[in-house]
Amino acid sequence: MQAMSERSAPTARPRGRQRASHSLDTVLGEAIAILDEGGEPALTFRALATRLGGGVASIYWYVKSRDELIELATEEVMGRVLADSEPLTHGPDPLANVRALALALFDEAVRRPWFGQFMLRNRGMQANSMAMFERVGRQLMELDLTPRQRFHAVSSIISYVVGVAVDLAQPPPREFLESGMAPSEFLAMYADRWRALDPDEYPFAHQVAGEIATHDDVDVFRSGLDLLLAGLRLQAGAGSAS
């Protein structure tokens, strides 16, 4: 294991101080708080510095760049998800365990839109991201699959989770923000617009217009995840054909 924090201040003590004093933990904590409140665009070095009660340049003592700051914040949150979801991996059915893990990951991405957005960037050897990959993969080791099938399956599942999460993380259209409507109202208006399309040219949009008005994002996610897992169960039961 590599040391995750090369630098660390002797714990912040804000009492009777002339100059501000931080630590990697407080920097990361405030960064996450900003991300939670205002999303990615809100995470500015100047905003973070103001919040920490210091200057902009101080942050560079703890972090090499904005990208590294986001990377560390993402890893931090991934660590928490990893810890919280540990109990979900002991059920008898491996695919049910995978499902629980995927849902836990997705839940966090719904709570923190920026999290899903930046899981993508951590393609590297980040300890916690790798651990999640490992954890899902280990469940699949109990299924009758070739290593290649297992690798493909884990990659696909993670991509699906992240993909849907990122999709949801997109900022709502300006139209919505400016309208001041409730989300359900806006969706209803959206559905009406679908219904207004030519039924001959857009039969499908016409048919599912009602669904978009009442849909729940988590339902949609779970539905696709179950399709993926059903396909995987089929593959595992069919011997080792590729």
Partner DNA sequence: CCGAGTATCGAACGACGTTCAAGACGATAG
Partner DNA sequence: CTATCGTCTTGAACGTCGTTCGATACTCGG
Nearest CA to 232 out of 146, 162, 164 is that of: 146
Residue 65 found at the interface with DNA (CB under 7 A)? yes
For DNA, the closer CB: 122 or 156: 122
For its own copies, the closer CB: 59 or 162: 162
List, as one string, the DSSP characters of 66-97.
Answer: HHHHHHHHHHHHHHHHHHHTGGGG-SS-HHHH
Residue 195 found at the interface with its own copies (CB under 8 A)? no
- In whole angstroms, the minimum distance from the beta carbon of 41 to DNA comes to 8
Q: Of residues 89, 152, 181, 189, which one binds its own copies by CB under 8 A?
A: 152
Give me the residue label for tokens 């208006």.
189
- With CB cut-offs between 5 and 8 Å by kind, which of DNA, its own copies, none does residue 21 bind? DNA
User: What is the C-alpha to C-alpha distance for residues 11 and 9, in angstroms, rounded to an integer?
Assistant: 5
User: How buried is residue 177: exposed, middle or buried, by Cβ count under 10 Å (0-12/13-18/19+)?
Assistant: exposed
Q: Of residues 4, 36, 51, 55, which one binds DNA by CB under 7 A?
A: 55
Residue 53 found at the interface with DNA (CB under 7 A)? yes
Phi first, then psi: give them for residue 82, nearest 5 degrees.
Answer: -60, -45
Q: Of residues 33, 37, 60, 83, which one binds DNA by CB under 7 A?
A: 60
Question: What is the contact mask toward DNA in residues 2 to 41, using x (rule: CB under 7 A)?
Answer: -----xxxx------xxxxxx-------------------
Cα→Cα distances 104→26, 50, 81, 124, 161, Å? 26, 33, 7, 22, 10
Query: Cα-atom radius of gyration of the chain, to the nearest Å?
Result: 22
Footprint on this chain of its own copies (rule: CB under 8 A): 120-121, 123-125, 130, 133-134, 137-138, 140-141, 147-157, 159-160, 162-164, 166-167, 170, 173, 175, 193, 202-205, 207-208, 210-212, 215, 219-221, 223-224, 226-232, 234-235
